[in-house]
Structure 1
Amino acid sequence: MFEQSIPQSQFDRLFIDDTPLLDLRAPAEFAKGAFTKAVNHPLMTDAERAKVGTCYKHHGQTAAMELGHQLVSGNIKQQRMAKWQAFFESYPSGAIYCFRGGLRSQIVQQWLRQIDIDKPRIEGGYKALRQHLIQRTEELVSSFRWIVVSGRTGCQKTEFIKNKRHSIDLEGLAHHRGSAFGRYPEPQPSQIDFENRLAIQLIKLKALGAGTLYIEDEGSHIGSVSVPWCLQQFTQNAERHTIESTLEQRIEVIYQEYVIDAESRYSSREQFEHYLLDSLSRNRKRLGDLRFRQLFSTLQQALSKDSQDLHKQWIKGLLVDYYDPMYDYQMKKR
């Protein structure tokens, strides 16, 4: 029977169309990196995969395949097949992949055909898709005209970027606002997931006919993830636009983001207060011990009294004594 598969020449189309992807890798493999439209319903658990891998190492492929069929049989097989069937009932246009597009995806493809579900598998699997996205990032970054948006902390650069028809919101992709206070309660994506998200966004923008992209002026890292070197290179010498805003306006913006909006994201007052105090503590060395203790005390009072004025006092101090001098220094270097 003809083995339906998706070649690399069609990989861009998978991402442009947001094709649902059934990821058959073990959970530990999926956690290291995946794609935005991928759902993990593994053929084998981590423990089962480890057993098959050990068997393969000592006894060869045939013995490993036999063990795999033993481990995934009977009720276990039926339960997993039910998940795959439900996936394709929800997403009829979906496709299958495992790590290299080999045995696992071939086996699942064959099993599904037995219940009249005939779906394509991706040639080369996750590894080929990942390599394709790395390659496309390098190709596409150089194909756009970049406009870098700069400005002091609190001048709403991200909002400006989002309102542009064609832009890359790196902080959104990284799930982090790019400062000591930039964390969210939910964890950031892994480095691989961040890179995959960026590549997919570039592919989609190119398909839309974008020629110029707006991007916020970022450092080499956004929280725990690093910006790909090729993007850093092309934006370093790109055209720059600067947003200007008064100190009072920026204090209002930061108060809204770091205090009002941030509190609504945390499930308890205790978690919210820890977030603010810990975030300020991350700037201790740069502020100097005396200034840090002054601002820390003001923040503690603001939290205990729930005082808007006190919150704006420590925010003003942080902007004037740390973020603004740091911005001025970076601009002089450029």
Structure 2
Amino acid sequence: MNEGAIVQDYARIFLQGVPLLDVRSPGEFRQGAFPSSQNLPLLDDDERHQVGLCYKQRGEQAAIELGLRLVSGKERKRRIEGWLDWRTRNPEGQVYCFRGGLRSATVQRWLAEAGQPLPRIGGGYKAMRRFLLESLARTLPGIPLWTLAGRTGCGKTRVIGALEQAIDLEGHARHRGSAFGRRPGGQPAQIDFENAIAIELLRQRARQAAEGVRPVVLEDESKLIGHRLIPPPLFARMQTAPRVLIEEPLDSRIQVTLEDYILGPLGEYSRFYGPEYALDRLGAELLAALDRIRNRLGGQRHSTLSRALNHALAEHRRSGSVEAHRDWIDCLFREYYDPQYEHASRRRSAATPIFVGSRSEVVGFLREHTAPPIPADPQAAFG
């Protein structure tokens, strides 16, 4: 391998999920990164700040010399060992910094001197981010989109997960898309959310080019999932996309909600906070979610639901049984979510859904639906 190799095949990087070594500062990484990247910085936030001030006051060469002094001796050895360990675990990996310049070139040189050359991504984060934004604009017009609708608890996310030609927006947003949708660990940065969606669309377009056009299915969402904004061009397409509608009986919806909002999250909270704290953490979040919709519920309904939820949590702690949760979920559907759904349905377009069925029927319909193939190279469409 060329010790100073520079690569710029952004489409391949994202289509194949190439492991990426991000050597920007931790603060830069938190503002936005890519799904396959890991942050092992050349300069930490304080060091980057010092080097930036030096650059402004004394120029580039002085800033470079300061950076080399800050990362020298034992600290340089420690960071190189971290990069070498990453390189061993990711033999196909590539390195980038913000513009593909000095920081990633320095790491590339030091790794080559250690006998482990690593390709550097030309243009860095800035060029890759621009590529994804441009590919989103190019890709969307050529992809047929369908949206998946239905009442709360009908299992839309389960259908999305059962399909290859689907994008799980809520999964990428790390939020279940309602007042009760928060998850431990919080949401990704807005830029991370956008990058993940753009990469998903890129891969869907490549699959279509290879296998034939199939509508890409997304859940019928509002423009915000928690605090993350669906990219406006995508949301605009979703608003006019054909709809597939899931219809499930109330008992089934209560069961799905019990599993997806109580049992599943309990395991997630256990992994984050430990088994002994999981139910208390989850219970506090459920009660906080009720408080967030207090004004829309009205005082009496909020009070009734709070009592039912507190009773269910107490019984859950006492006996381990989750059955009492069914009561407040049932009440929440009848008193809040179903009336909301009916109101929204009356306001939206009168266009008839292209298919209506149970969850299993919808999965079958979507798996069977295909369209004529388009003769195109999988990567040619992405420039």
Please say whether Structure 1 and Structure 2 have the same fold, judged by a TM-score greater than 0.5: yes
- Which structure 1 segments of 5+ residues have no match? none
Secondary structure, in 3 states, of the residue corresponding to 2:142? coil
The offset of 1:21, in angstroms, is 0.8
Letter in 2 for 1:332: R
Shift in alpha-carbon separation, 1:130–1:45, aligned structure 2, 3 A = same
Shift in alpha-carbon separation, 1:124–1:313, aligned structure 2, 3 A = same
Matches within 5 A, 1:183-198: 183-198=182-197
Distance 2:194 2:171 in 1: 13
**1:99 counterpart = 2:102:** no
- Residue deviations 1:44-90 (CA, integer Å, cap 9, x gap): 11111111111111111111111111111111111111111222122
Tell me the residue number matched to 1:40: 39
Secondary structure, in 3 states, of the residue corresponding to 2:222? coil
The correspondence for 2:257, drawn from 254, 258, 263, is 254
- Which structure 2 segments of 5+ residues have no match? 271-276, 349-383
Q: Conserved in 1, the CA contact under 8 Å of 2:108 and 2:118?
A: yes
**1:323 counterpart = 2:348:** no
Tell me the residue number matched to 2:222: 219
**1:232 counterpart = 2:235:** yes
Distance 2:40 2:324 in 1: 50
Tell me the residue number matched to 1:289: 299
Shift in alpha-carbon separation, 1:113–1:257, aligned structure 2, 3 A = closer
Tell me the residue number matched to 2:58: 59
Q: TM-score by structure 2 length?
A: 0.83
- Residue deviations 1:273-315 (CA, integer Å, cap 9, x gap): 1022111111111111111111111111222233655422211
Distance 2:79 2:3 in 1: 24
Letter in 2 for 1:138: A
Letter in 2 for 1:297: R
Shift in alpha-carbon separation, 1:80–1:2, aligned structure 2, 3 A = closer
Letter in 2 for 1:281: D
Secondary structure, in 3 states, of the residue corresponding to 1:208? helix
Distance 1:71 1:15 in 2: 33
Tell me the residue number matched to 1:206: 205
Matches within 5 A, 1:301-312: 301-306=311-316, 308=322, 310-312=324-326
Letter in 1 for 2:299: D
- Which stretch has the larger CA shift, 293-302 or 107-116? 107-116
Secondary structure, in 3 states, of the residue corresponding to 1:147? strand
Shift in alpha-carbon separation, 1:115–1:261, aligned structure 2, 3 A = closer
Distance 1:262 1:120 in 2: 40
Letter in 2 for 1:223: G
Distance 1:270 1:159 in 2: 27
Letter in 2 for 1:324: D
- Which stretch has the larger CA shift, 141-150 or 261-270? 261-270
Tell me the residue number matched to 1:130: 129
Matched residues, number:
332
Q: Conserved in 1, the CA contact under 8 Å of 2:100 and 2:122?
A: yes
Shift in alpha-carbon separation, 1:56–1:241, aligned structure 2, 3 A = same
Distance 1:26 1:230 in 2: 31
Distance 2:219 2:338 in 1: 17
The offset of 1:317, in angstroms, is 1.5
Tell me the residue number matched to 2:376: none
Q: Conserved in 1, the CA contact under 8 Å of 2:3 and 2:119?
A: no
The offset of 1:251, in angstroms, is 1.5
The offset of 1:2, in angstroms, is 8.0
Letter in 1 for 2:5: Q
Matches within 5 A, 1:171-190: 171-190=170-189
**1:266 counterpart = 2:259:** no
Distance 1:310 1:37 in 2: 41
Letter in 1 for 2:155: Q
Shift in alpha-carbon separation, 1:112–1:263, aligned structure 2, 3 A = closer
Distance 1:253 1:301 in 2: 20
Letter in 1 for 2:27: A
The correspondence for 1:313, drawn from 327, 332, 340, is 327
> Larger relative CO (CA 8 A, sep 6+): 1 or 2?
2
Letter in 2 for 1:81: I
Secondary structure, in 3 states, of the residue corresponding to 1:266? helix
Secondary structure, in 3 states, of the residue corresponding to 2:88? helix
Superposition RMSD in Å: 1.6
Letter in 2 for 1:148: T
- Residue deviations 1:149-205 (CA, integer Å, cap 9, x gap): 100000011111221221111111111110111111121111111111111111112
Secondary structure, in 3 states, of the residue corresponding to 1:215? strand
Distance 2:336 2:79 in 1: 54
Tell me the residue number matched to 2:366: none
The correspondence for 1:275, drawn from 285, 305, 316, is 285
Distance 1:73 1:64 in 2: 14
Distance 1:250 1:17 in 2: 37
Tell me the residue number matched to 1:169: 168
Name the % identity.
Answer: 42
